[in-house]
Amino acid sequence: GDVEPQRWPLLEQHPDPAIATKARAIHGRPAEERAALVAKLMPAAERAGDATRGAALFKEQCTVCHQIGGVGGVIGPHLDGIGARSRRETLLAILDPNQSVEANYVLWIVATKDGSVFSGRLDAE
């Protein structure tokens, strides 16, 4: 839980095979386990929310990648229209963010001949 989701691909494809192997071993949570977690937490989507706490949580956890109202990062999609989604759909996207990734937000990892490794989005070819 201490490793941000966008960091896992970097670790899993690390040039040092020992690091890559270890990352794949500890990150690869079985689909059944993830499905059980989603089922356990889905009733929370039916409860009333607290906008102040939600805004603070978004600022702390999500603005690294996402943006709402012009505030936040540009790595992931802007979430200005998130309020139009159902609470269940939003909770599922939070619990399993890689379930649906638009092509223009796929993380690319490039290893150069000199051994450097870069990651990011492909903006243009």
Report residue 114's pLDDT band, with 50, 70 and 90 as the boundaries. Answer: very high
pLDDT attached to residue 31 = 64
The tens digit of pLDDT for each residue in 72-87 reads 988 888 899 888 989 8
Longest dimension (CA), the chain: 53
Q: Is the pLDDT of residue 42 over 80?
A: yes
Sign of the C-alpha dihedral, residues 104, 105, 109, 112?
Answer: positive
pLDDT attached to residue 36 = 85
pLDDT attached to residue 120 = 81
pLDDT attached to residue 96 = 75
